[in-house]
Each structure stands twice: as structure tokens, then as C-alpha cells.
Amino acid sequence: MPKNLVIVESPAKAKTIEQFLGKDYVVKSSFGHIRDLPKKGLNIDTDNNFTPKYEISQDKKKVVSELKKIAKISDDVILASDEDREGEAIAWHLTQALKLDPLKAKRIVFHEITKPAIEEAIKNPRTVDLHLVDAQQARRVLDRIVGYELSPLLWKKVRTGLSAGRVQSVAVRLIVEREREIRSFTPKSSFKISAEFIHEDNHIPATLDKTMASYEQARQWLEKTASAVFIVTGVSTKPSRRSPSAPFTTSTLQQEASRRLGFSVRQTMTIAQRLYEAGSITYMRTDSTLLSGLALNTIGLYIQSKFGTNYHAKRQFKTKNQSAQEAHEAIRPTDVNTKSINGDTATQKLYDLIWQRTVASQMSDARISRSEIDIDISNQTEKFVAKGEVLEFDGFMKVYGGAKEDVILPLLKNDDQLTLDTLRAKEQFSRSPARYSEASLVRKLEELGIGRPSTYAPTISTIQTRGYVEKTDLEGVSRKVRGLILKNSQLNETEDEESTGNDRAKLLPTSIAEVTTDFLTKYFPTIVDYDFTAKAEEDFDAIALGKEPWHKMIAKFYKQFHPIIEKTNSVSRHEVSQARLVGNDPKTDQPIYARFGRFGPMLQRGETTDENKPEFAPMPEGETIETVNLNQALAMFQLPREVGKTDDGQDIIANIGRFGPYIKVGDKAISIKGHDPHSISKDTAVTLYEEKLKKDAEKNIKEFSSGIKVLKGPYGPYITNGKKNARIAKDIDPTTITEEQAQDILNKAPSKKQRFRKRKAK
């Protein structure tokens, strides 16, 4: 019979901790939260201090039943969930489900899952911190109120299946506003002047300290400078230092894992969770950059033994956020002497990154010698500047961040005359604001004080699954870059091409994101207000410190929020659709609008108030409500277009659908991606149709009168009745299968697993 029951959140964590405790302890997992608000309904008593109505989740009833049985025969129940607000809430919910007194129940916390840390925690239990529980409860209740009252309104006014939330709606707004900045940005051209000088067989690259505004100005400047004398007027060498960054917090780990390893925010947090539960790193949800005294000493000894005492510099970094929620350490290895851990390649890479960053934070500055040479131009007011940089001592760069190649300048002195070898002017363009990646969005949210480390990954995942944002690669467009080269007194023009606008894994807003953001900004400015959302986090911190009752904060918000919900119910869907007048049809003089409809962005010709109903057409591929022009819109109203007839007399109709351009012949739709439905020829259309018929014929091996088919699939032959598929064993010839055999194989095949499907708009 166990004397002590220890309850943690996850089975992996339970397995690791059980290794450190003796036979007097049994360690069980709650598998996360065991109680929550029911999925259906608000379940918050708005007339009684916003009391939430929790219930034990259906999938946790068996877990709770087992925990109750063990708790009854145990001397002590020890709650060992994570040390943050979410973990504190899990511990409190366990006291409610197991009928324990939260003011007496033993609660232990630890930053790392190691034997010394667990033993120390067992010796020093505390009770459940109800202030932290209240802070988590306030967040949960506020998010439920916003989601439950605002999401149905979005369903009615914008599109079915949408959701809204404090952090997610602000994140979407940031992405929408950035994309609009990019669209309205006009790049400006200027010309950068560079030169290469020679002095005693040494080549010295230098850059002019000013750019030229125009091509003509650059040309005139080069022509005049061709006859100049170039004299060294200043030589300086200055020592410089580069210091290491602080150990990782949750957000800096997410950003650096994205930049260095290409990991998504969710992937980073999933792997970090595994590393923590395996006892390899400290707790991975933290705003703290502090390291414990023991960690500082251990890391210091490691650096001194491996690299030498001159590489060690003990540091304690200041933490920006001093909230009660995150009063623990930075993310670090639990044992700095462990350089390699068990796991797949991605797990090892993330551990390496954490190890390197932690060790580097306690290493000496890198010492750099920076040199600069000023070069005077006899007939110009500007000057050239040559810069060099030499790494003299690598310091922390030995383990984190490689140094660039040294740029060594020759020894020169004032009044030395340089010989001009080449003079260049190259066109450059100002850059638009950068689109957000997952990592840069995390950085922006953190700068604004919006959300907390634990919210970033689920927020970014939600705005993508809900269709507000797409993570995509963008192909650049080619543009011409003009230039001039002066060499041997000859001035020649150059013209190159460069690609601009290439983007990888960037977050782009969809049309639904723009319409939803405009709707929320107009009618619910508080919800998407950056300051309000950040202030809410400060309020949660105040609640966690016991400075404010949580229900008062909710009451203050609800008093403003709920009346707007009731008022906004009267807003028409047409008003929400943000229709933009593109222009008038020159033939009919009817207005053409770009607007958002139930199924996405579309074009409308005519007014809804006219006697004749307006006509509708899809949006041209690659265009949005804000970018489509009149000519593009008029072309879309020419579809569907009759291309011609097949050899057997069937009509060929070209059109654009949900999945792009296509032709339709009878009941067959054939994709014509890469072809324009406005101009595709009859011959091309017939060829694509015949190719489709041939492909379908090759796919069909057999077809029976009952509707059962034997087909050739990408993974081999299979049988289908339209509702269920069954693979055919390799030792069976699919051409010899009878109808009875096919039915028997279908009957024995496992049923299809139910998958989550997005609800279609009605």
C-alpha cells in the first residue's frame, strides 16, 4: 500500500520522477487538466460574480476515479504540477475533484526534473497558491466570454466557423496591418557608390559616405570624380567587444529555434516539453533569464576546465518581466556536462541550441579590433570610408555564433595617396516592412506585452487552422538594376536583374482576416486594441500577486463588452462585407464591387436594391478585395466561356472554381492550371480532356454492376464502393478478382477513421 501519492500532469514526467522516489511513493499522471468549462454554452454565472461552472471532462472520469482510489489508501497526496499559473490551476482542480482542502493539501514545485530537485521539493511542500489560481481563472473566464459571445456574431455577420479571442484577434490584426503597409509601399531608388583603390599592391575596398538620389546624379558624380586625387586623411583602430546574449526564455527560444533551425513555434515547444519531462532541461515556460547559484558555479567550472579561465565570465542577466507567474529560472540544461542526449535529430538540435546558449552566457566577451580609413576626394565634398574588422579573441563565440571572415586593411598613414582602380554606382531600392514569420510575430507580441510564453504557440496555430492566416513561401518578381562602372577612364553602363519579394515561411492574412479585423476594429475596438490586451496581462499579474479580486476585473470588462454585442446584432452582413467600388461596367453602367461573401472574396455587378438581382463572379487568382482593378473584374464576368465542342459534339466550358481554372465537358471537370480560361484554345482544351479520359481509363481495372470498383491508386490497386476503401494484398492479381471476392475484401477491411472536418458555410 503506497504511503504517498504524487500527481503530475503527464505520463512522461511521472515516469521520470518515479525513478527518483523510493517504494513509499507512487507517481500518477492527471493527463493535464481534469476539469474545465463544458464545451457547449457559456457556463459562467454573469449574475453571481462570474462564477465558472466546471465539470470533469468526459475523457478524464476514469483517471479521476483511479486517483480517488489511490488517494483514499495513501497517507499523503502531493500535487506536483508545473510551477506556473496553469500548473497551479491543475493542482487546485485536483483538490476539488479529490475532495482535498487546498489550504492543507501538499503542493510541491521544481524547476528541473532531477533527483536533487525532486528530493528538495518533497522536503519543502507548500499549499496551493490561490492567487495564481485566480489569475488563471480570470484568463479562462475572460477568454470564454469573448469567444462565446463574439464568435457567434462573426458566424452570423462574416462567415460560419470563425472564432475570436483577445490574443488571437490582435495577432491577426498585426499581420493584416503589416500586409497593408507592404501593399501601399512604393520602393524608392538610389545609387550606392563604391570604389576599389590600390596602394603598394594592396587592394582597398571603400564605400562613399553618401548615396545619390538619381541615375543622372550618379553619372555626373562619377564623371567628375574620374580626374580626382585620393588622399588618406584619417586612420583609426579601435578595440571593440561583443557580449553574449542571455540564456533562453520561452519567446527567445522560439525565435532562435526558428532562425537557426527552421522550427515552427509549436514544434519548438513540443520538443522542449519532451526534453523537460525527460529531465534534460529546466522548465520551458518562463520569462526569466536568471540562473541559480548552483547552475552558475557548475557552468563556470565546466568552462574553465574545457576552455581555460580566460574564457569564463560569471554573469547574472536581469529579467525584464518580474511577474509572479514566472519567478523561476531561464531555460538551461539540467547538467551542463551532458552534451548529448537520446532522441531524434530535431530533439538533439534543440538541446544543442539550449546548451550552447547557456554556456555562452557565462563566457568572456569576444574582442574585436575595428579599423577605419577616411579617404578624401580632391574635387568632391564627400569622402570614401574603408572598414576592417579582426577578431582578436573569440570568447563566447567559441561555442555560440561563428565569427565572420576577418577584413584586414593594409597599414596606411595620413597623406598617403591612393590609386583608383574601379569606381562603381549601383542602383538600390528601399525595402518595404518585412512580413511576419512565426518567430518575428512572437517577438512583436512580446514587445507589446501581449500574451504570455504559454499562449504564443497555440495562438499562432489557431489563427492558421481557423483560416485567418496562411504560412507560405512567396516567389519574388524580377526587376532591372542599373549601374555604372568607371575603369581605366572609361565609363560604362550596366544593367542586371535581381529578384525581389522572395519570402519563405511568412504569415499572410487571408481575405477573411481582413474583413474580420475591419469588423472588430470598427465595432469592438477594445478587443483588438494593443494597449487593452497588454493591460489585461498586467491585470492578471496583479491578481496573481493578490492585489485585485479576479471577478472585479471581469465585471469591469463585461460592463463595456456585452452592450456592444447586443447593439452589433443589428448590423447587416452587407455592411460587414466591406464592399469596395471597383468601377462601372462600360456597357451597362452597372457598378462592380469587390466584396466578401459567404464563401470568400468575390465580385458583384449591380446593386442588391435593383429589380434584377446582381450577378456574381469569382475573384481573379492572386488578387484581393483591395487590389483587383476594373479590367480584371470585367474579364471575370465573361466566364463561364464556351470554348468549342469535342469530336463527339459535347460542349467545352471554361471557368474558374474554388480550386482554380478548369474546363467542363459533360459531368467531368478537368483542371487547366497554367492556362487562362479566357483564352484557352479549343485544341488545347480537347487535348487536356482526352488526357483526362485516358488517365481515368488506366485507373479503372474493373467495375461491377453493384457499383464496386477495382482501381489503380498511387499506393497500389484497391477496391472501393464509394464509401469504403480496401487495399488488395500483393499476392492477389487485381484483374482476376470477382465481385464476390471484392465484397468479401471490403467487408473485412477496417472502417475509415473519423477525421475532423471544417464546417461548411451555409
Collect all residues with Cβ–Cβ distance below 8 Å to 733 and sequence separation of at least 6: none
> Of the listed 25, 54, 276, 283, which one is catalytic?
283
Please tell me what DSSP assigns to residue 54. Answer: -
14 CB burial (10 A radius; 0-12, 13-18, 19+): buried
Of 457, 514, 661, the residue nearest 175 (C-alpha): 514
Place of cell 479576479: 550
User: CA distances (Å), 634 to each of 611, 637, 681, in order?
Assistant: 22, 5, 20
Please tell me what DSSP assigns to residue 260. Answer: I
Cβ neighbours of 756 (radius 10 Å): 5
**Joined grid coordinates for residue 344:** 531524434
Q: Given strand 580-584, what is the order of strands in its sheet?
A: 580-584, 591-597, 600-605, 615-618
Phi and psi, residue 393, nearest 5°? -150, 120
605 CB burial (10 A radius; 0-12, 13-18, 19+): buried
Q: Evaluate whether 68 touches 46 at the Cβ level (below 8 Å).
A: no
Q: Evaluate whether 420 touches 488 at the Cβ level (below 8 Å).
A: no
- Which stretches of 273-352 are assigned E, i.e. beta strand? none
Query: Positive or negative CA dihedral for 151, 152, 154, 160?
Result: positive
Q: How far apart are the first and last CA of the chain?
A: 58
Of 134, 16, 2, the residue nearest 77 (C-alpha): 2
Q: Which helix (H) or strand (E) holds 168?
A: helix 166-184
Please count the CA atoms within 13 angstroms of the CA of 370 that sit on its side-chain side: 9
Bridge-based pairing state of the strands 106-107 and 417-429: unpaired
Place of cell 446593386: 607
Q: Which helix (H) or strand (E) holds 542?
A: helix 530-544
How far is 227 from 125, CA to CA, in rounded Å? 83
How far is 570 from 557, CA to CA, in rounded Å? 22
Is residue 283 among the annotated active site residues?
yes
Rounded CA Rg of the chain: 33
User: CA distances (Å), 58 to each of 54, 168, 227, in order?
Assistant: 12, 27, 86
Phi and psi, residue 544, nearest 5°? -60, -30
Bridge-based pairing state of the strands 383-393 and 417-429: unpaired
How far is 453 from 443, CA to CA, in rounded Å? 11
Q: Which helix (H) or strand (E) holds 195?
A: strand 189-199
395 CB burial (10 A radius; 0-12, 13-18, 19+): buried
Q: Which helix (H) or strand (E) holds 153?
A: helix 130-157
Q: Which residues are catalytic?
A: 283
